[in-house]
């Protein structure tokens, strides 16, 4: 808790946050999906939805550095092996959501196939958890620079209205259709927010 508080205070000193659509934040457990610019956006997203704690899904390589791994665990992140994801890649986030937490997924990457796979993974989590999906757009710096202490650049987080997965029967075909519908909706919302950026200069997405 202390680490999160210190991070929020530090970010407030290096940027000016504006949250658009704060009223769209679900009161219950949810899945938050956002574009990905750099290592700063998970931190700003956490500030944007505060006091709701977030739990970002992060690639396991980020935890190889013991200090950095310790730090991101303190803000709620948990590792996922994207190369060979195990059952925990779905079980743990669903459990967090059922306990009232907000799991964060960034469907970014350098390959279109990777982006599509992560979107399907996010849609699968939302369908299994039967939870609201909150799509966000981050516009701001990708890294922290010394100059930011002086000019405090503007950071805008836009939150689209949350939506729920369609009802799915226990059968595999029904669940597959529901997952596909959620994946398409996530993609459409991300594209809509990207086409209508909140600032004059949109943040360049990674990928």
pLDDT digits (tens, 9 = 90+) for 63-81: 777 777 777 787 788 877 6
Q: Please check the confidence at residue 206 and state whether its pLDDT lies above 50.
A: no
Question: Is the pLDDT reported for residue 130 higher than 50?
Answer: yes
In whole numbers, what is the pLDDT of the chain averaged over residues? Answer: 82
Output helix, strand, coil percentages for the chain, rounded to the nearest 5. 45, 20, 35
- 171 or 201, which is more confident? 171
pLDDT at residue 204, as a whole number: 46
- The per-residue pLDDT for 4 is 61
Percentage above 90 pLDDT, the chain: 40
Selected residue with higher pLDDT from 2 and 195: 195
Spatial distance between the Cα atoms of 188 and 80, rounded to a whole number of angstroms? 25
Query: What is the spatial distance between Cα 145 and Cα 177, in angstroms, rounded to a whole number?
Result: 45
Q: Which of 38-47, 98-107, 186-195 is predicted least confidently?
A: 38-47
Contact assessment for residue 35 and residue 205, using Cβ atoms and an 8 Å cutoff:
yes
- Helices and strands (H and E) in the chain: how many: 7, 7
Helix axes 66-74, 2-14, angle to 10 degrees: 90
Q: What is the pLDDT of residue 112?
A: 59
């Amino acid at each position: 808790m202390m680490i999160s508080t210190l991070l929020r205070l530090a970010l407030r000193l290096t940027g000016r946050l504006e949250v658009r659509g704060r009223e769209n934040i679900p009161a219950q457990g949810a899945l938050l999906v956002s574009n990905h610019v750099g290592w700063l956006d998970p931190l700003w997203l956490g500030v944007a939805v505060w006091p709701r704690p977030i739990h970002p899904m992060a690639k396991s390589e980020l935890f190889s550095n013991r200090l950095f791994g310790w730090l991101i665990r303190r803000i709620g992140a948990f590792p996922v092996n994207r190369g060979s994801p195990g059952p925990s890649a779905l079980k743990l986030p669903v459990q967090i959501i059922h306990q009232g937490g907000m799991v964060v997924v960034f469907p970014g990457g350098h390959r279109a196939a990777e982006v599509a796979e992560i979107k399907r993974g996010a849609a699968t989590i939302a369908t299994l958890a039967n939870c609201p999906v909150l799509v966000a757009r981050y516009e701001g710096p990708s890294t922290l620079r010394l100059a930011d202490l002086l000019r405090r650049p503007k950071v805008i987080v836009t939150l689209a209205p949350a939506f729920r997965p369609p009802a799915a029967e226990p059968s595999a075909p029904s669940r597959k259709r529901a997952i596909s519908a959620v994946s398409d909706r996530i993609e459409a919302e991300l594209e809509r927010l990207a086409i209508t950026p909140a600032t004059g200069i949109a943040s360049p997405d990674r990928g």
